[in-house]
Structure 1
Amino acid sequence: MQNEWVEVKIVRLLKTTPAFAYQAWIDPEMLRHWFMTTSRTNTSVHNEAVEGGHYEIIDQRQDKRVRVKGIYNKLVSGLEIGLTIQMPDVSEKQDDIEVFFEERSPGITQMTFFYKSEVPKERRLSQLEYKQKKKEYHDKVVHGFENIFDAMQNYIEAQSTDSNH
């Protein structure tokens, strides 16, 4: 039984520069507003934004503490970020994220997000059940990151509005 990969691709247009969108992914003060947390529920963000550097985000909602951590594998300023993501309190599984930034027109950046995760294949599952499990996982990941990117977009656009006044 071979495990299979689930891959997600999300493309977003952001009203900002590639450099600012890139910063939103590596600046701890910016991350605490949108990446796997909110400014209200964030307990801490620690990151070392260099290739091989680690990051960790701790979010607290009611009695639930969620830790998200990973390693920056690739950082090309304003263009590309590669990182791992893991929720060690939930699973030892580590997934991969790649994000690319491209200016589409002045002040408009296309962010292309790729997420790759291995989905364990359990012996008890038929091929059809496993395919359904992968689809449910895919849809859950897409839904989660769409919500995260909504928060990112709102945060980024509020920042650029603030800086214009």
Structure 2
Amino acid sequence: MEKNSTTTLKMTRNFDVVPERVFEAWLNPEMMRKWFFTLEGTNKVTQNEPQVGGTWEIIDHRDGKDYRAIGEYLEMDPPNKLVFTFKMPQFSESEDTITVELKELQRGCEMTFYQNIIVPHEENWTESDIEKALGEYHDGSEHGWNLMFMGLKELVETGQVSYKG
């Protein structure tokens, strides 16, 4: 039986735009292809059905390979909350859950992002192996989202994203 552990990544970002603009960037395919797991220059597919039970898919082409991310929308409360699954089948069958909460501020909005990260165990792992893997998955995910959130901020505040490859 396959065992796994979970860790939760929490990140908070502020944007100088209304929550509706940030919420739209998570669901509008034209906006998603500029920042969400892909860039316009490397994106091959961005498609979604933005409704509870609907799916999304992004295929990004980097270094001669296609990377596919897929998921399903679990909860939508525009412009306050979005919950969806995130999976990259070529690497793992495990499916993370992502929650995005938006709160209007006096100026702009605050986004709180949570990713429930599933870390599959390898055979004969010790507690320290598990702790190390949880830290690596957490830190690797945080690094990737940091880069994406810089693009998201630029997109929602200026309407475009400059390549930061």
TM-score by length of 1: 0.91
1:35-114 matches, cutoff 5 A: 35-106=36-107, 108-114=108-114
2:24 — aligned with what?
23
Q: Give the share of equivalent positions with the same residue, in percent.
A: 32
Deviation at 1:67, TM superposition (A): 0.7
Deviation at 1:130, TM superposition (A): 1.4
8 A contact 2:8–2:117 mirrored in 1: yes
Counterpart residue type for residue 83 of structure 2: G
2:133 maps to 1:126: no
Give the number of aligned pairs. Answer: 159
8 A contact 2:14–2:109 mirrored in 1: yes
TM-score by length of 2: 0.91
Aligned CA RMSD, in angstroms, stands at 1.5
Distance in 2, matches of 1:153 and 1:113, equals 14
1:163 — aligned with what?
none
Distance in 2, matches of 1:72 and 1:135, equals 27
Q: Which runs of 4+ in 1 moved over 6 A?
A: none
Deviation at 1:3, TM superposition (A): 2.6
- Residues 57, 130 of structure 1: alpha-carbon distance in 2 compared, 3 angstrom cutoff: same
TM-superposition CA deviations, 1:39-73 (whole Å, max 9, x none) = 11111211000000001111112311011110000
TM-superposition CA deviations, 1:105-154 (whole Å, max 9, x none) = 13x11000000022122342221121111111111111111111111111
Counterpart residue type for residue 133 of structure 2: K
Counterpart residue type for residue 73 of structure 1: L
